[in-house]
Structure 1
Amino acid sequence: MSNIVIRSLAELQQHEGQELGVSEYYTITQEQINKFADATLDHQWIHLDAERAKTETPFQSTIAHGYLTVSLLPYLWSQIVTIENLKMQVNYEIERLRFNQAVLVNNAVRLRAKLLSVKDLRGIAKASIEVALEIQDGKKPAYTGVVTFLYHFNS
């Protein structure tokens, strides 16, 4: 999959208001869900107990943690846009994050992104990106929101 390469604040600004594309699909496994539960100390049974989830939930399956799906944002975003010539990138904020649909174990998801705005903060690019995490063959996205990154370009 080809992606957009951006090397400066000016190049980033050229894409303002545009849908930038979609990432590859990524499958979320039970092993990943289990590791995320251990890393975050969130061992709620709906994520880990397949037998109980099968009988006691409308999903009939374990589901990924919502924050696990959010944590995939930088990885999936990097498949859409490659930012080069950086000193540093900072995750700045997430606005209007809404979880719309559970992601079941073994669902494949991908990110769709639109660059809403780019602001110049004394040479630091503040990029706000409208995101939707789409579930393969799903009717609704897993979540929608606006994520903002700060890009500190070298020059």
Structure 2
Amino acid sequence: MNPAGEHSFDDLRARLGQEVGVSRWFVIDQARIDAFADLTEDHQYIHVDPERAAATPFGTTIAHGFLTLSMLSAMAYDAQPRLANLRMGVNYGFERVRFVSPVPVGARIRGRFVLDALEERAPDEVQLTYGVTVEVEGREKPALVAVWLGRRYLEAA
């Protein structure tokens, strides 16, 4: 399924349990890490001090786990299929989030999305559940795995 364009409920139902999209690669450079640290006021040295971080088991600075999680929004724009007649979508939360391995500075990450569930909650509302894996280029172990819930509100028929 190409996430570009609009898809009906039937299109999505036919893809339950399958991968529905993969995002582009995003570079996690020190500037992005530093900006996130400034926004969240989380300046732990393993994220923002390359000299001190070099002496840790990571050997370099690493992205905040919450930075990796926050990147899911951009990844979703690339990879999640868009429902036809969409009025708006909202993040409903997560059933599960695990930070499986660190993202070292300079790494590229991308998201893979599997549609796990589709629940019609009202004539103009649907809840989508995605299994999400954030890959680190060149590494076998993912950075993050999550079960992500989203609500989609449709134009009235």
The TM-score normalised by the length of structure 1 is: 0.91
Deviates more, 1:38-47 or 1:16-25: 16-25
Render the CA deviation track for 1:83-110: whole Å, top value 9, x for unaligned. 2532211100112211110001110001
- Give, in angstroms, the shift of residue 79 of structure 1: 1.1
Count how many residue pairs are aligned between Structure 1 and Structure 2: 153
Distance in 1 between residues matched to 2:106 and 2:112, nearest whole Å = 19
Contact 2:94 2:147 in 1 (8 A): yes
Matched, 1:75 2:74: yes
Matched, 1:34 2:37: no
Unaligned residue ranges in structure 1 (runs of 5+): none
Render the CA deviation track for 1:21-62: whole Å, top value 9, x for unaligned. 31111111111111111111111111000000002x111110
Amino acid at match of 2:41: L
Distance in 2 between residues matched to 1:70 and 1:6, nearest whole Å = 26
Render the CA deviation track for 1:109-138: whole Å, top value 9, x for unaligned. 010110000000113110000000000001
Amino acid at match of 1:63: I
Matched, 1:54 2:72: no
- Give, in angstroms, the shift of residue 10 of structure 1: 4.0
Deviates more, 1:7-16 or 1:69-78: 7-16
Deviates more, 1:139-148 or 1:9-18: 9-18
1:139 aligned counterpart, secondary structure: coil
Identity, % of aligned pairs? 37
The answer for the alignment partner of 1:136 in structure 2 is 137
The answer for the alignment partner of 2:45 in structure 1 is 45
Distance in 1 between residues matched to 2:105 and 2:86, nearest whole Å = 35
CA distance 1:122–1:3, change in 2 (3 Å): closer
Distance in 2 between residues matched to 1:7 and 1:35, nearest whole Å = 36
Unaligned residue ranges in structure 2 (runs of 5+): none
RMSD (Å), alpha carbons: 1.5
2:5 aligned counterpart, secondary structure: strand
Contact 2:80 2:113 in 1 (8 A): no
The TM-score normalised by the length of structure 2 is: 0.90
Contact 2:132 2:146 in 1 (8 A): yes
Distance in 2 between residues matched to 1:54 and 1:69, nearest whole Å = 20
Contact 1:27 1:109 in 2 (8 A): yes
The answer for the alignment partner of 2:21 in structure 1 is 21
